[in-house]
Structure 1
């Protein structure tokens, strides 16, 4: 019987515990998510395409995990994708997809600043995944005028420490909303997520 990581992901207490958890989950992550109808990667990729990002624009896939998000971006025609993650185990799986130009272990290599025309954080910023500050990290990697596509799941939409990051960036004029849409997150669990596309000013 497979270990049901989805039942435990929201109980992680520290960055080190989270990194070990995702390293351990890497081998069965794709199966766990896809068999339950993980919809957010495809929704984000379609939203980024609809926002007008050229297919040859470089995309930083933050928290790329095993590459589900990279494959979704590739399916929408994006051809230059760099992946970044804190989990070496997840990055090993992502390398097998062939979706990425470069893969970056953010524990070892700092991210460039103000460089990418687009940054994605698909199913990444939220409870059970990355802390609120990753929102600011993503914006810092984004070139002026660039697009930031990310999602907040049901859990995260109820946490002001996460939603407050978006509110603050809108209030101080760092970003503008291009689109936002609520839809299915993990279909078989009945969970939802809101997909946003922002433009950095």
Structure 2
């Protein structure tokens, strides 16, 4: 019986620990999240398409993992998707799906891993949160967008309970640096009785 990794995810405390965790999880990641009914990729892709139904708009799938998010974006109608992830093993899974135009390894120590204006749309699907990317990553992604660019992402229930993450979102909204286009709470991992908020933000 393969090891279970999901329950261990939310206690990770460093970028290196997180990368190692996902490297080890890569082979069984999809089976474990799918047996728990993982629906967030489809929810985010559909929300993004509702605001930007443009198939040829290049999208950066930040933290693309094994490519489930890329497949969801494809199903929604998007056709030009690049992926970035810190786990080489996860990227191997993404390559096998042929959902991406390009796939690159993310250097977690790079303070600006995405060139400003390189993408009109960035997705962070199941990426921002406890045991994954820290709150500062929110700034990294928003700063990589030009005015009018979109960030589509999720906060699961664990993350919604952490004021460091919700506070980071509110920093951008409260000062008018970003505009909320879409927000909806719904299922995330039903098998774990866990929900998530899905968001689409526009940089002001």
Q: TM-score, normalised by structure 1?
A: 0.96
Q: Describe how 1:112-131 pairs up with structure 2 within 5 A.
A: 112-131=115-134
Query: Is structure 2 residue 93 aligned with structure 1 residue 93?
Result: yes
Q: Secondary structure at the match of 1:145?
A: coil
| Separation of aligned partners in 2, 1:19 and 1:159 | 21
| Separation of aligned partners in 2, 1:54 and 1:69 | 17
Write the deviation string for residues 95-123 of structure 1: whole angstroms up to 9, x where unpaired: 11101111121218832112211110011
Q: CA deviation at 1:172?
A: 2.1
Query: Is structure 2 residue 139 aligned with structure 1 residue 136?
Result: yes
- The gaps in structure 1 that reach 5 residues or longer are none
Q: TM-score, normalised by structure 2?
A: 0.95
Q: CA deviation at 1:140?
A: 2.0
Q: CA deviation at 1:89?
A: 1.1
- The gaps in structure 2 that reach 5 residues or longer are none
| Separation of aligned partners in 2, 1:30 and 1:80 | 23
| Separation of aligned partners in 1, 2:157 and 2:95 | 30
Q: CA deviation at 1:13?
A: 2.2
Aligned to 1:156: 159
Q: CA deviation at 1:84?
A: 0.8
| Separation of aligned partners in 1, 2:71 and 2:196 | 19
* Worse overlay, 99-108 or 179-188: 99-108
Q: Secondary structure at the match of 2:44?
A: helix
Counting matched residue pairs gives 201
| Separation of aligned partners in 2, 1:104 and 1:121 | 15
* Contact 2:114–2:141 (8 Å) recurs in 1: no
Q: Which ranges of 4 or more aligned residues in structure 1 deviate by more than 6 Å?
A: none
Q: CA deviation at 1:170?
A: 0.8
Aligned to 2:55: 55
* Worse overlay, 179-188 or 8-17: 8-17
Aligned to 1:76: 76
Aligned-residue RMSD, C-alpha? 1.3
Aligned to 1:3: 3
Give the counterpart of 1:193 among 182, 191, 196.
196
